[in-house]
């Protein structure tokens, strides 16, 4: 009987498994499994055994919605006891959102969940996808990294700390506030001091957090000249939570009192919109007490997002509200580190 670890490869879509059609590249059911079955490297004893599961409909990641985060999480939870780890083959455009959401939907994780994809389809002679598949399988099957991660271009990043930073370079992802969990070169060097401890789910079973509804969550990026009328319109019902992408260390226009009043009215009862301040900068942390422009947001009831990415903040808000928590409970949990997504103390946050 084989003693090789076994990895579940969940194919959800993305460039890596696309083929050229009359209307452009599109996912093709069955293509990834057939391609991997023909790869001689994957039959070597050094690599884990694997099963490819196609989660149809396969999607370009631009078409991903919260319902798709849920079906991926459910697929992992349903198969959790049967595999050493999981590889999620996904498009790059919204990979950081899905990785972040999975980290919140699957508390107690004790096995690797590695998202990967490619900038070029496997049909392309120079595709980066081939190496990504091989190494992601190796990481998921042989490395004890019990986190949701993104593997891309020789680096393993914590999923809820990663962002897509380039659409033409093979180095498509980066993590501005946390070094890679592993570097892959001639060998695999794991930064053990950064890897989170296994969750309470252990190796046998994993339960996804129960979701009871679909909340209304949004994100807006501040720009010079943004006005109170636009902000007021955005904050109208049914909006329940907002990621406010601000300047620098969490600054926003403070001389526009109408703008601040619109924010304050929405954050206060009876609306209690949960508004979280995240920096537009790729690295660094929100510090709402450093400048008066940031302090004005704090007085208006805006929460610091510390060093969370906007992607992590939005998916965290969605998952907390969808689980049925009250606005007060969500506000409290947003200030807590649930899955390695933030450094709670702004003074200790990494600044690049």
Secondary structure (DSSP) of 283-325: SS---TTTSHHHHHHHHTTPEE-TT--HHHHHHHHHHHHHTT-
* Cα–Cα–Cα angle for 33, 28, 115, rounded to 5 degrees: 60
- Structure tokens belonging to residue 137: 């399988």
Tell me the catalytic residues: 92
Which pLDDT does position 349 carry in this prediction?
Answer: 37
pLDDT in tens, 4-22: 999 999 999 999 999 888 8
Cα distances from 132 to residues 16, 98, 111, 155, in angstroms, run 10, 18, 19, 10
Distance of CA 81 to the CA centre of its chain: 23
d(CA 17, CA 215): 32
* Cβ atoms 173, 154 nearer than 8 A: no
* Cα–Cα–Cα angle for 245, 158, 147, rounded to 5 degrees: 130
Which pLDDT does position 25 carry in this prediction?
Answer: 87
Which domains are assigned to the chain?
6-190 (3.40.50.1170), 217-348 (3.40.50.40)
* Cβ atoms 234, 218 nearer than 8 A: yes
Instruction: Round the average pLDDT of the chain to a whole number and report it.
Output: 94
Question: What DSSP designation does 48 have?
Answer: P
Which pLDDT does position 127 carry in this prediction?
Answer: 95
d(CA 166, CA 96): 13
- What is the mean predicted confidence (pLDDT) over 190-217? 90
* CB count in 10 Å sphere of residue 209: 15
Element (H, E) at 70: helix 66-79
Which pLDDT does position 204 carry in this prediction?
Answer: 67
pLDDT in tens, 312-346: 999 999 999 999 999 999 999 999 999 999 997 54
Dihedral, CA of residue 142, residue 146, residue 147 and residue 149, to nearest 10: 0
Q: Which of 20-34, 185-199, 223-237 has the lowest mean pLDDT?
A: 20-34
Q: Is 282 helix (H, G, I), strand (E, B) or coil?
A: coil
- Structure tokens belonging to residue 343: 């450094």
Phi, psi of 240 (to 5 degrees): -115, -25
pTM, full prediction: 0.95
d(CA 306, CA 337): 10
User: What b/e sequence results for 149-186 when a residue is b if at least 16 CB atoms lie within 10 Å of its CB, and e otherwise?
Assistant: bbbbbbbbbbbbbbbbeeeeeeebbbbbbbebbbebee
d(CA 135, CA 175): 19
Q: What beta strand segments (E) does the chain contain?
A: 6-13, 18-21, 24-27, 49-59, 85-89, 113-116, 148-152, 155-158, 163-164, 173-174, 182-184, 188-190, 217-221, 241-246, 274-279, 303-304
């Amino acid at each position: 009987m084989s003693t090789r670890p076994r990895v579940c490869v969940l194919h959800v879509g993305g460039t890596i498994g696309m083929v050229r059609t009359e209307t452009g590249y599109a996912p093709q059911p069955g293509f990834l499994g057939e391609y991997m079955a023909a790869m001689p490297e994957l039959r070597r004893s050094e690599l884990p055994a694997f099963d490819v599961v196609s989660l149809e409909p396969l999607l370009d990641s631009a078409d991903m919605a919260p319902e798709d985060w849920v079906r991926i999480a459910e697929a992992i939870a349903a198969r959790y006891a049967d595999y050493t780890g999981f590889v999620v083959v996904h498009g790059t455009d919204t990979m950081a959102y899905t990785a972040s959401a999975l980290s919140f939907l699957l508390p107690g994780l004790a096995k690797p969940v590695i998202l990967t994809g490619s900038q070029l389809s496997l049909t392309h002679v120079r595709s980066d996808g081939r190496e990504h598949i091989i190494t992601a399988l190796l990481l998921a099957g042989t490395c004890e990294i019990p986190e949701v991660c993104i593997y891309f271009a020789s680096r393993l990043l914590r999923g809820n700390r990663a962002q897509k930073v380039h659409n033409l370079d093979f180095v498509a992802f980066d993590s501005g506030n946390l070094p890679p969990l592993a570097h892959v070169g001639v060998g695999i060097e794991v930064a053990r001091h950064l890897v989170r401890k296994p969750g309470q789910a252990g190796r046998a079973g994993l339960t996804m957090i129960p979701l009871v509804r679909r909340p209304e969550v949004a994100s807006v990026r501040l720009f010079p000249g943004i006005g109170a009328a636009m902000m007021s319109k955005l904050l109208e019902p049914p909006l329940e939570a907002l990621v406010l992408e601000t300047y620098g260390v969490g600054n926003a226009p403070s001389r526009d009192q109408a703008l601040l009043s619109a924010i304050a009215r929405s954050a206060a009862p009876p609306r209690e919109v949960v508004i979280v301040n995240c920096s537009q900068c790729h690295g660094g942390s929100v510090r709402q007490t450093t400048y008066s422009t940031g302090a004005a947001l704090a007085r208006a009831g805006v929460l610091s997002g510390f060093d969370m990415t906007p992607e992590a903040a939005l998916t965290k808000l969605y998952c907390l509200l969808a689980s049925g928590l009250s606005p007060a409970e969500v506000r409290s949990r947003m200030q807590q580190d649930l899955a390695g997504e933030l450094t709670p103390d702004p003074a200790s946050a990494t600044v690049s």
